[in-house]
Structure 1
Amino acid sequence: MSEKKGLEGVVALESRISSIIGSQLTYCGYEIDDLAENAMFEEVVFLLWNDRLPNQSELDDFRDKLFGYMTLDPKIHSHFEAYSTDAVHPMTAIRTAVSYLAHFDELTEEMNEEANHEKAIKIQAQIASLVAAFARTRNGKEILNPKKEYSYAANFLYMLNGKEPNDIEVEAMNKALVLHADHELNASTFTARVCVATLSDVYSGVTAAIGALKGPLHGGANERVMAMLSEIDSVDAVEGYLQEKFDNKEKIMGMGHRVYKEGDPRAKYLRDMSEKLTEQRGEPELYEKSAKIAEIVEREKGLLPNVDFFSASVYHSLGIDHDLFTPIFTMSRMSGWLAHILEQYADNRLIRPRAEYVGQTGKKYEPIENR
């Protein structure tokens, strides 16, 4: 049995949801460039779950359903009050809250296709409300309900910040959600599929996925990018800062990608939004520092920015607390996890790989007095 550390390059299953071919990412056959430039996040969610884009009537119905489930049960609000302290990372809170949602859903244990699809809509709707409610609760602010006239992206920004977002902010949030929605068989998506392959329920699957995304090698990179930007005093200080990192053989977060060797196709859209938003916010130096880091790391190390790199300054400019960056990732990737869960259920087989044993053999039990 040959070892593939980290299962690198191993094809574990077939899927119609997304693909990475060379440096091109597609969702159900649509190139990410096409969707990032033209699609609403709601359309992308429908696409991932149904393998086609909705017509206007279907989109209107889907948006109505999402809006209808967005308002949280007040018991969930009080639940946040019990653990919304500085000691709890938001991903811990969101992981618990998503699992808690199952207690309010009469369909939780129903495993037919219609029930699972309905649960998917509920979870996708409520994850945005959960992130916003947690953020406002820990800051002592009133929890806000969504507005019907707003899109999913606009509603999240409104529920988080308590004011109407402008067009550039909504465009940036929508693009970020579209770009992070799915990414083939990444660690959290694989976790979700392994979980539901046992025929566990949808809530278990997405809770398991959140646990995997919480790790800094998967979902936490953009938070660490923002920490790096905060440590650098000015654009002029970038070169010296990076040289010290290079000398100490430290990793530069947000640069390079395990799959994309010729550059992450999603990064350019968030770079553009970063430039616009930092200018609007009166902090253009944030973008300038980011661009300088990208330039030097490419020159010195041959690495290009991935989707996490410029998303850091985008989220900061949208008024999002830095430790909420991974929960934002969760909001978007929830759509992909749910697509993969529904696909797993449709043609299920228990996922049960083997391990090559490398320990000692031939050992014999000895009585405890002889050990």
Structure 2
Amino acid sequence: MTDWLTAQEVMTRLKLRPQTLYAYVSRGRIEAKADDEDPRRRLYRAADVDRLSYRKTRGRRNAVIAEDAIAWGEPVLASAITTVAQGRLWYRGQDVEELAQAARLEDVARLLWACGNARFPPQTNRIGPGTPSQRMFATIAARAANDPAIAGRTPKALYFEAAAVLDALVDAVAGGPGEGPIHDRLARAWGCDAQGADLIRRALVLLADHELNASTFAVRVTASTRASLAACVMAGLAALSGPLHGGMARRVLVFLEETRRVGIESAVQARLHQGTVVPGFGHPLYPEGDPRARALLSAFEMPEEFANVQRMTETITGEAPNIDFALAALASALKLIDDAPFLLFATARCTGWIAHALEQFQSGRLIRPRARYVGAAPATV
């Protein structure tokens, strides 16, 4: 089936008038692009049309619409921070692939937090023992237990605390206090040269935010209760730790182990026969390829094993690598510690989580959805 449909095909499938189709496009519910063969004609993404068609078949009851919105559905919260549009990722209207060319994570934090040229003064953070992940969770948990709530504080105070929370997380990952740009601090901790440090910088920028994913939603729910910024970040870390979110890079490594045992083609075919996706390939929001993976993989030469897996998987499935595959390849190329993909993810995403926490607080709304009860009927009183 084609990925793009003509206007007539869309109107026939959805039973729409032209003006309704154009309204759907203007609201971002159907993505449109110019036809390569005839620039005067527009084409419309088939996946968006299929989703709208499915919703029509289920009816328009509010409960059903809200339930569908939870999983890759319609937008459920207003935000001015990040969006996915035209197959690209945008931070406050700026193309992430372009930002990744030279920006630092601190620059992106200022952009996402809308705090102008706020400084990031180094803090004195006491970091306990343990692995980097253990230190990170313990450090943020300690702040969550002691930091004041968001409510009743000036933007300047919140921005200073945001920088302090991020600095504490970086110190925990690196193993102790440090100075200089965040990517240099991590690179020194992991024994990377200048080229490796620049690749870490690029990865951090590309991972800083990704709209309303699972961890960010957890952060916004927490922020809506007026909890502290550290508590919000703690909620994000908890959600990120799951194997379907920040743990995906580890699943990529498990798949690579499968390819070593049975061969790449057999490993891919086995996944397809099981009805499962190949870890590290494809993304629902990027039918034509994850721009974050593209921007990262173009900056270094992948280890041969990863290049072979990419080539064979793309040939069989047609799916391009996503950011999880790119992170695993980067960690392998730089010979980073085993948990480096998750640590990079958490460090970068801390900036996005804080941006969403601040925005949710400014909205003044408590996030409190209702459950659609499907259990045993309550007893008659």
- Aligned partners of 1:230, 1:31: CA distance in 2, in Å? 35
Change (3 A) 1:50 1:323: same
Task: Kindly indicate which of the two structures has a greater share of residues assigned to helix.
Answer: 1
Q: Is the 8 A contact 1:40 1:174 kept in 2?
A: yes
Distance change >3 Å, CA 211–CA 103, structure 1 → 2: closer
* 2:195 corresponding residue in structure 1: 168
For residues 92-131 of structure 1, what are the structure 2 equivalents within 5 Å? 94-102=136-144, 111-112=152-153, 113-131=155-173
1:19-56 C-alpha deviation (Å, 9 max, x unpaired): 111311100110112101131222111111117xx5xx
Instruction: Tell me, yes or no, if the aligned pair for 2:144 and 2:228 is still in contact at 8 Å.
Output: no
Is 2:184 the counterpart of 1:154? yes
Query: Which one scores higher on RCO, CA 8 angstroms, separation ≥ 6?
Result: 1
Partner of 1:141: none
| Aligned residues of 2:165 and 2:229 also touching (Cα < 8 A) | no
Aligned counterpart in structure 2 of residue 192 of structure 1, from 195, 219, 222 = 219
For 1:37, what is the secondary structure of its paired residue?
coil
| C-alpha distance in structure 1 between counterparts of 2:370 and 2:151, whole Å | 31
What's the TM-score, normalizing by structure 1? 0.77
1:225 equivalent in alignment to 2:252 = yes
User: Retained in 1: the 8 A contact 2:83–2:211?
Assistant: yes
Post-superposition offset of 1:188 = 0.5
Secondary structure in structure 2 of the residue aligned to 1:183? coil
The one-letter amino acid paired with 1:25 is L
Aligned to 2:294: 268
Letter in 1 for 2:229: V
Q: Residue in 2 aligned with 1:62?
A: 119
Aligned equivalents of 1:145, 1:353: Cα separation in 2: 41
Distance in 1, matches of 2:135 and 2:370, equals: 33
Aligned length: 316
Superposed, 1:1-371 pairs within 5 Å as 1-2=63-64, 3-4=67-68, 6-50=70-114, 58=117, 62-63=119-120, 65=121, 68-69=122-123, 71-73=124-126, 76-77=127-128, 80=129, 84=130, 91=133, 94-102=136-144, 111-112=152-153, 113-133=155-175, 144-147=176-179, 150-158=180-188, 160-161=189-190, 163=191, 165-233=192-260, 237-275=263-301, 287-363=303-379
Distance 1:221 1:246 in 2: 18
- TM-score relative to the length of structure 2: 0.76
Other structure's SS at 1:216 match: coil
| Cα distance in 2 between the residues matched to 1:241 and 1:94 | 35
Judge conservation of contact 1:298–1:304 (CA < 8 Å) in 2.
Answer: yes
Structure 1 segments unaligned to the other structure (5+ residues): 134-143, 279-286, 366-371
1:362 Cα deviation after fit: 4.9
Retained in 1: the 8 A contact 2:174–2:185? no
- What amino acid does structure 2 have at the position aligned with 1:146? G
Q: Mean alpha-carbon deviation: is it higher for 348-357 or for 293-302? A: 293-302
Q: Structure 1: how far apart are the matches of 2:264 and 2:104?
A: 36
Once the two structures are TM-superposed, the CA of residue 129 in structure 1 deviates from its matched residue by 1.1
SS in 2 for 1:273: coil
| Shift, 1:248, TM fit | 3.5
Question: SS where residue 342 of structure 1 aligns?
Answer: helix
Unaligned runs of 5+ in 2: 1-62
Conservation of the 8 A alpha-carbon contact between 1:181 and 1:336? yes
